[in-house]
């Protein structure tokens, strides 16, 4: 079996939210909208069909783009033109036909084999970013129907240098857990509020221990609030005493 050599590529992955919740007619419509939006945005960025390879994933599309296409131009189109396209499509669509998208822009090495299969660790990582809960939650919390994440390589090579139309301050660092270890990426826009609470690095001093309470025959009677009992370990303070009990 022969396989083409890995080549540097720009990877664009775009997925449709809640695609499987729709019926067949609605899914067919959403696919047309998705492909139309991607085609128009890429053409605006100067990416014609000779500069890209497409993989159809039903509710999603993956594009391998020739690295000769300036990444700054492509990223600007993703920041500006995708939201404009979504607004134009959704303002005329019924509520059941609204389309909401999450996208990942990454760079790396990908090989295309004789079966038209795409092979590469960088592509695998981009897929994991697209499926990350942080990106899904960010989209659920937004009103503009769109959430974009870029890989660490795109941030390091492009975003952080403050190119025109690419505001670095609007990108926030996230860490995505995967079976191969954590992945660093950068989310455009505010971090999701629905994510897990940060782990406390400091703990308050323990409250004074109250006087012993009588033990009934049925066990220990406990009143109050446990602020941190997890997996048989207690962190944080514990408040003893019922609401009307004198201390």
Domain final residue pick, 160, 188, 216 = 188
**Residue reference for tokens 């191969």:** 180
Assess whether pLDDT exceeds 50 at residue 228: no
Residues 147 and 217 in one domain: no
Mean of pLDDT values over 73-95:
95
In a domain, 153, yes or no: yes
pLDDT category at 235 given cuts 50, 70, 90 is very low
Supply the pLDDT for residue 201: 36
The radius of gyration of the chain's CA atoms, rounded to the nearest angstrom, is 25
- pLDDT, residue 114, reads 87
Predicted pLDDT of residue 212:
52
The reply to whether 183 and 228 lie within a common domain is no
Residue 243: pLDDT band (50, 70, 90) is very low
Residues 208 and 133 in one domain: no
Kindly report, residue by residue over 14-36, the tens digit of the pLDDT.
999 989 888 999 999 999 999 99
Same domain, 75 and 182: yes
Look at residue 172 and give its three-state secondary structure. strand
Pairwise CA distance, residues 205 & 49, whole Å: 64
Ranked by mean pLDDT, the top range of 70-84, 181-195, 216-230 is: 70-84
Q: What is the mean pLDDT of residues 193-218?
A: 47
Average pLDDT of span 148-169: 97
Mark whether 68 and 27 lie in a shared domain.
yes
- Do 47 and 147 belong to one domain? yes
Q: Give the pair of three-digit tokens for residue 79.
A: 């920041």
Domain that holds residue 156: 7-188
In a domain, 194, yes or no: no
Residue 236 falls inside a structural domain: yes
CB of 247 within 8 A of CB of 241? yes
Output the domain CATH number for residue 54: 3.30.70.1230
- Cα 175-178-184 angle, rounded to 5 deg: 25
133 lies in the same domain as 155: yes
In this structure, the answer to whether residues 32 and 148 fall within a common structural domain is: yes
Higher pLDDT, 231 or 122: 122
Residue 142 and residue 166 in one domain? yes
Query: Sorting pLDDT into bands at 50, 70 and 90, what band is 211?
Result: low
215 in any annotated domain: yes
Residue 196 lies inside a defined structural domain of this protein: no
> Do the beta carbons of residue 107 and residue 154 sit within 8 Å?
yes
Has residue 19 been placed in a domain? yes
Q: What is the mean pLDDT of residues 218-247?
A: 44
- Write b or e for each residue in 166-192: b if 16 or more Cβ atoms lie within 10 A of its Cβ, otherwise e: beeeebbebebeeeeeebebbbbbeeb
Question: Which one is predicted more confidently, 29 or 244?
Answer: 29
97 is a domain residue = yes
Residue 3 pLDDT level (bands cut at 50, 70, 90) = low
Q: Which residue has the higher pLDDT, 210 or 183?
A: 183
Residue where a domain terminates, one of 188, 211, 230: 188
Residue 195 lies in a domain: no
| pLDDT number for residue 230 | 45
Mark whether 236 and 162 lie in a shared domain: no
In this structure, the answer to whether residues 207 and 174 fall within a common structural domain is no
Instruction: State the residue for tokens 């981009």.
Output: 126
Q: Do 212 and 148 share a structural domain?
A: no
Query: For every residue of 11-62, which 3-state class applies, written as one string?
Result: EEEEEECCHHHCCHHHHHHHHHHHHHHHHHHHHHCCCCHHHEEEEECCCEEE
What lies within 8 Å, CB to CB, of 52 at 6+ separation is: 42, 63, 64, 65, 66
Number of domains in the chain: 2
Could you give phi then psi for residue 106, rounded to 5 degrees? -145, 165
């Amino acid at each position: 079996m022969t396989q083409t050599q890995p080549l540097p590529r720009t990877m664009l992955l775009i997925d449709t939210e809640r695609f499987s919740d729709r019926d067949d007619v609605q899914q067919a419509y959403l696919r047309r909208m998705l492909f139309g939006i991607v085609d128009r945005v890429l053409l605006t960025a100067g990416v014609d069909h000779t500069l890209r390879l497409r993989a159809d994933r039903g509710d999603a599309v993956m594009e391998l783009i020739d690295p000769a296409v300036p990444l700054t131009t492509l990223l600007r189109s993703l920041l500006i033109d995708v939201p404009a396209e979504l607004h134009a499509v959704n303002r005329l669509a019924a509520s059941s036909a609204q389309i909401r998208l999450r996208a990942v822009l990454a760079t790396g090495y990908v090989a295309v084999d004789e079966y038209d299969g795409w092979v590469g660790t960088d592509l695998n990582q981009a897929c994991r970013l697209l499926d990350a809960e942080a990106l899904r939650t960010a989209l659920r919390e937004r009103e503009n129907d769109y959430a974009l994440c870029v890989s660490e390589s795109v941030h390091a090579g492009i975003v952080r240098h403050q190119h025109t139309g690419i505001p670095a301050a609007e990108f926030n660092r996230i860490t995505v857990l995967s079976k191969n270890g954590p992945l660093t990426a950068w989310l455009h826009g505010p971090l999701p509020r629905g994510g897990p609470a940060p782990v406390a690095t400091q703990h308050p001093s323990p409250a004074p221990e109250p006087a012993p309470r009588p033990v009934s025959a049925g066990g220990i009677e406990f009143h109050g609030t446990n602020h941190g009992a997890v997996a048989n370990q207690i962190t944080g303070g514990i408040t003893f005493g019922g609401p009307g009990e004198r201390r």
